[in-house]
Amino acid sequence: MNEGEPDRRVVDGRFELEARLGGGGMGTVWRARDLLLHRYVAIKEVRPPDVDLAEYDPGAAEMLRQRVLREARALARVEHPNVVTIHHIVDGGEGTYPWLVMELVQGGSLADRLERGPMAPAEAARLGSGVLDALDAAHMAGVQHRDVKPANVLLRTDGRPVLTDFGIAAIRDATALTATGSIIGTPDYMAPERVSGHSGGPAADLWSLAMMLYVAVEGHHPLRRGTTLATLAAVLQEEVPPPVRAGSLTPLLSCVLVRDPEARPDAGTVGRMLATAAAQPVARGPETTSYPLAPPAPPVLPVLPTTDDMQVARRRGRPGVAVASSVVGVLLIGTLAWKVLPGGNSDDKGASTSPGATGQTEQSSPTTTPSSSASAKTTDLLTPNGIRTAIKAIEKETGRDSFGGLTVYPDYVSAEVMVKGSKTEYDTYTYRAGSGVEKGIIESTLMDGLEPLDLGKYRWDAVPALFKQADKVLKVKNPTFRYLVVQGPWKTFNAPEYMSAYLSDSHGTSGYLEATPQGKVTKVMPADG
């Protein structure tokens, strides 16, 4: 970089930096003036979080430089109006960090747009079509984006989306620059297969696109938790709650946000579904739906394309997936595996409580058979009686009374049920009032050092007081999502068993309380903590 007049920064003798547009842990994006062509451009200045990286770890610094060069090459390979154009690269060679000179997109980002509130389903579908076109072009060029999220979707002044930040893109035959065992990307929008350590494919980018559209129309992220670890665990283990505002986008979200990448529709089908959703009239007020996020049957969803467009869902049982991540270190090393979504649950269509509901509905006696109580009122399971009912139903269905973990939501309970005679192997089960107990396809093992739960130690009557205290101290003003995590002792970290009460709002603000099995609070992590 050249130093000219005071307070005047000129890169490569040509690009005058004028204003900071944004930045993060890996650098800053500037608006700059091209002094040669007399136009404005965006310049990405790469800087690692540790400014001394090149001194004590030159190998890592050089890898970062190569990743930036790879981003430039990835962008250069993708020519499409919905992909940001790269104009120039300034590279000083080994021991330096490059600057990327790109077109300036002046309409802000999708993240900026969503700060003003959710989008209508048809509007989100139109935007999604543009992003999908960009991904198609990238995939055709052998490039997977791997970090599709609102901040990486820029908007032209006419509202057209432009996909940017291919810095962690995977290019065929050039993936060695992604460190083995590392998770690179934004946990909130990563597909389960990528969180689990697999490279994934185009289907993983489609998951990220669908999750971004879910956030765009619902106004909150369904799996974001209070910590990175908790978010990664949620992506791997938890169901995506059915959307309530998605309207015409519901069929798309239902098909794409499934754990098995082979069960997701291909890009062509997704494109046709987006076109169908975009053509629907804008609804007046929120549109509710009871469709579960699982591959739907076409007759149930009239806005779906023809059955010839739908990909056959090939669900396979999978063993637990080892997660080796530089993001979460040893905390996720082991066999933390994702649970697939249970089946249709058509008996729940009259349910008045969703995973995001905060109020309690009238108690009723749930049954463990899916054929009854189609019109019965939904029991709030996040209560002492609800928890006891779910545990009893699971024990009766499985003939087992040992659990590796338990997560309780208002309308369902997810459990790891230990295999008889084993202290490490478990199967996954889900309980819902009205539809009973359903077995997941995952058969896995507890993470190293974790021990099964002793549910006899837990005082479920303390749960209401725990959430009452959470409402007071976690600083989540209008919580729309709450759940309880029950975890056994973890010898690796000399940690005792505990239960945690989580709260989050529609903007993703969240916090949690950790307590002993008797309900004594031992840790408070407020939303601003």
Catalytic annotation, residues: 147
- Burial letters for 119-144: b for 16+ Cβ neighbours within 10 Å, e otherwise? bbbbbbbbbbbbbbbbbbbbbebebb
CA distance 132 to 210: 10
Q: Tell me 420's DSSP state.
A: T
CA distance 258 to 237: 12
Count of H-run helices and E-run strands, the chain:
11, 19
Q: How far is CA 150 from CA 100, 192, 263, in A?
A: 21, 19, 25
CA distance 68 to 77: 14
Residue 485 bridge partners (DSSP):
407, 500
Two tokens at 340? 């697939």
Residue 418 parent element (H or E)? strand 413-418
CA distance 209 to 24: 21
Cβ(255)–Cβ(296) under 8 Å?
yes
Cβ(107)–Cβ(159) under 8 Å?
yes
3-state secondary structure 330-383: HHHCCCCCCCCCCCCCHHHHHCCCCCCCCCCCCCCCCCCCCCCCCCCCCCCCCC
Two tokens at 351? 């349910």
CA distance 76 to 74: 5
Two tokens at 65? 């430089």
Q: How far is CA 203 from CA 153, 336, 471, 514, in A?
A: 18, 21, 39, 36
CA distance 418 to 220: 34
CA distance 383 to 366: 13
Residue pointed to by tokens 């500037």 = 30
Return the number of other C-beta atoms located less than 10 Å from residue 223's C-beta: 24
- CA dihedral defined by 30, 33, 37, 41, rounded to 10 degrees? 30
Cα-Cα end-to-end distance for the chain: 38
